[in-house]
Structure formats: structure tokens, C-alpha cells
Amino acid sequence: MDAVLLVFAGALLTALATGLGALPFAFVRSVSTRTIAYSNALASGLMLGASFGLVAEGTRFGAVQTILGGMAGVAFILLTERVLRARDIQFGEVHGDGARSMALILIVMTVHSFAEGVAVGVSFGGSMSLALLIVVAIAVHNIPEGIAISAVLRPRGVSVAGCAGWSIASSLPQPIMAVPAYLAVGAFAPLLPYGIGFAAGAMVFMVFEELLPEAYERGRKAGVALLAALTLVGMMVFQQWL
């Protein structure tokens, strides 16, 4: 019982850390097209780097399963877009394409948290002695994910507190999935490469289909490419550390 509570509390803590990603956006006020372009580039680099890290982990469990999961992730995004396009969704004051990007990144990051929650639970199952280390690692690793979410929401008019709230909400599946995965490592471990692949496929596809094209359209090509490339490499190094 104690262990289950600990896993839940640990995973909840990591979810809260995602909210810290909103902090850097406290000084972003203007809803200018340039801000959107460079925020998109930043989110693209972070998400591509995160996906590279996920794929590297997933292929250790099985490359084919990871790729199959990735294909499902792409299909999921195509389907979600279809649903979102079919109705005129509204996000705060925002309508149309902007609102679709906002809804989409929240859906993508929330879905990806399910896979991460399973990963947390499975790694706890391995050895409880590493528990604290894993919690700190995942918590720190969640901050850039909060940055990616806030980078899309904030320039489109969401408040800093709102960005933090949405970031935390997107990570809540982590504690929810971590507990059953911890209790039944045997049942969840084989699913892990599929889940990781799904998360990576969904994130990469969203970057290529939504975030990057919009960034190129609204910002200078050189600035967008530099920012995205540097954050991609930075994210890879950051994950290497943890």
C-alpha cells in the first residue's frame, strides 16, 4: 500500500513540475505573428528532441513495435484533426486554425503522458531504490514539455496561470497510468514500446504538419530553423544527462 501511494505521489509530483514550463512565458505579452513563429519553432525543437529520446528508449524494447506504435500515433493525429476540423472549435477568444493548434497540442501531450506514466510505473517496478532519482529525472524532464505547451498557448492569449494549469492537466495521466503499470509490470512492459512509439509518432507528426509550416509562414526561415535545430540538440543533451 505504501509503495502504491509513493508511486502515485511521485508521478503526481512530476505532473506538477510540468506547470513550471509556463514560467518563462511570464514576460511574453504580445500576440504577434513573430512570437507565434518562434514559439512554434521552440516547441518543434523540444518535441522532436523528446521524440528522438523516446524512440531511442522504445527501440531498446523492440524497434518494430516502436515503429508500429508510431504509425498508430500518426493515424491518431490525422483522425483527431479530422474531428477538430469538422466543428468550429473555440479556445478562449481564439477560433479556427489557432484554436485547432491549441487543442491539438494539448491532446497530443496528454496522450503522450499516458505512455510516460506507463514508463514511470514500469521503471519503479524494476527497483524501488531508484524511486527518488526517477521522480526527479521525470519531473525535470517534464518542464520542457510544459514549455512546449505554453509556447503554443501563450502567444495565442492564454494567461501564464492558464498555461501552467493546462500543462499540469496534460501530465495528469502520468500518475493515473503509473500505478497500474507499477502493480502489473509484467502486463504493461510488453506494451511499452508501442506506447512510446505512439507518443513519438504523434509528436513528430504534429511538428511536421502543424507547428513547422506555421512557423515558416510567419517568421524568418533562418531564425525558425536555427531555434528549432538548437533546441532539438539541447533537448537531446538534456535527456542524456537525466
Partner 1 sequence: MDLTITVLVYSSLAAAAAALGAAPLLVRERLPIALIGWSNALAAGLMLGAAYALLLVALEPGSGPGAGGALLGIGFVYWTRAASRTTELELNRLEEMSPDYGYKILLVNTVHSSAEGVAIGAAMAVNLPFGVLVALAIATHNVPEGTVLCAVLTSRGVRLSDAVGLAVVTNVTQVLLAVVTFAIVMAEPSVLPWALGVAAGALVFLVLFELLPECYRQAGPRSIALVTIVAMGIVVLLSEQGI
Of the residues 8, 52, 76, 114, which one makes contact with partner 1 according to CB under 8 A: 52
- Shortest distance (Å) from residue 221 CB to partner 1: 5
Q: Mind giving me the DSSP string for 133-198?
A: HHHHHHHHHHHHHHHHHHHHHGGGT--HHHHHHHHHHHHTHHHHHHHHHHHTHHHHGGGHHHHHHH
Binding of residue 83 to partner 1 (CB under 8 A)? no
Closest CA to 194 of 91, 59, 93, 104: 59
The CA dihedral of 41, 205, 81, 158, to the nearest 10 degrees, is -30
Q: Is 76 in the site for partner 1 (CB under 8 A)?
A: no
User: Which residues are paired to 94 by β-bridges?
Assistant: 91
CB of 193 to partner 1, least distance (A): 12
Under the binding rule (CB under 8 A), the answer on residue 85 touching partner 1 is no
Residue 72 touches partner 1, criterion: CB under 8 A:
no
Q: Is 70 in the site for partner 1 (CB under 8 A)?
A: yes
Q: Does 67 help bind partner 1 (rule: CB under 8 A)? A: yes
Scan residues 173-202 and list those touching partner 1 (CB under 8 A). 201
Cβ neighbourhood burial of 26 (10 Å; 0-12, 13-18, 19+): middle
Return the residue of 9, 71, 128, 184 that touches partner 1, per CB under 8 A: 71
Three-state DSSP state, 224: helix
Write down the least CB distance from residue 222 to partner 1, Å: 5
210 lies in the binding site for partner 1 (CB under 8 A): yes
C-alpha cell at 141: 524532464
In DSSP terms, 95 is beta-bridged to 90
Q: Which residues bind partner 1 (CB under 8 A)?
A: 52, 55-56, 59, 63-64, 66-67, 70-71, 74, 201, 204-205, 208-210, 212-213, 216, 221-222, 224-226, 228-230, 232-233, 236-237, 240-241
